Chain A
């Protein structure tokens, strides 16, 4: 039993990422306001980015900026720097996320201009009555 508890506690950060992801997922499904849904999508996205960044982190690892002369002489210890590959991939994901947010907000303004509300159930009611 203690073994299982130690196993769970050793990866505590992964559990918190899953909790964050589920908070975002609940907001996307359970909330009826469109802005709330978009905030939930952003939370979901940042939790996944956080997971990927944490896979590159190392105990005792420094930032991945090297001294040029030391690197040319081959005197770089891989255990001293964190892995920069997930950082590069997730930079793209952040920028894509902001553009998705911008497009979604523009669509939301069109919806508000047409139906006069941002609540999903009221919009559905107005579409049915048309």
Chain B
């Protein structure tokens, strides 16, 4: 565990989380959330939890993003807040 890398990734994660809930377009929010999941996966690999990092990279950044995009295309992209 390298604390400089840890702090850098944590700050990026917080920026991505704030961007996810402030962006008005739902598709961009989903893509930023995918970047958030990938940064989270890097953080876990850096902490030594490689199995959790694998699962997050496939399931969190992959499958759940596809779920969100499919649901947004079937409903609406517009968001008021």
- Do A and B come together as binding partners? yes
Report which B residues bind A (CB closer than 8 A): 1, 6-7, 10-11, 13-14, 17-18, 20-21, 26, 29-30, 33, 36-37, 40, 43-44, 47-52, 55-56, 59-60, 63-64, 67-68, 70-72, 74-76, 79-81
Chain A residues near B7 (CB, 8 Å)?
12-13
Q: Are B17 and A64 in contact (CB under 8 A)?
A: no
Contact residue among B1, B33, B63 (Cβ-Cβ distance under 8 Å from A39)? B33
Report which A residues bind B (CB closer than 8 A): 12-13, 16, 19-20, 23-24, 26-27, 31-33, 35-36, 39-40, 42-43, 46, 49-50, 53-54, 56-64, 82, 86-87, 90-91, 94-95, 97-98, 101-102, 105, 108-109, 112, 117-119
Q: Are A23 and B21 in contact (CB under 8 A)?
A: yes
Contact residue among A20, A31, A57, A117 (Cβ-Cβ distance under 8 Å from B17)? A20
**Given A19-B14, A94-B56, A101-B64, does the pair A53, B29 have CB atoms closer than 8 Å?**
no
Specify the main secondary structure of chain B where it touches its partner: helix
Quick one: closest B residue to A94, CB to CB? B55
Q: Are B47 and A23 in contact (CB under 8 A)?
A: no
Chain A residues near B14 (CB, 8 Å)?
16, 19-20, 23
Q: Are B48 and A57 in contact (CB under 8 A)?
A: yes
Contact residue among A16, A36, A43 (Cβ-Cβ distance under 8 Å from B10)? A16
Chain A residues near B76 (CB, 8 Å)?
112, 117-118
Q: Are B40 and A46 in contact (CB under 8 A)?
A: yes
Quick one: closest A residue to B59, CB to CB? A98
**Given A24-B17, A95-B59, A112-B76, does the pair A82, B81 have CB atoms closer than 8 Å?**
no
CA distance A94 to B21 in the complex (A): 21
Report the minimal beta-carbon distance from B13 to chain A, rounded to whole angstroms: 7
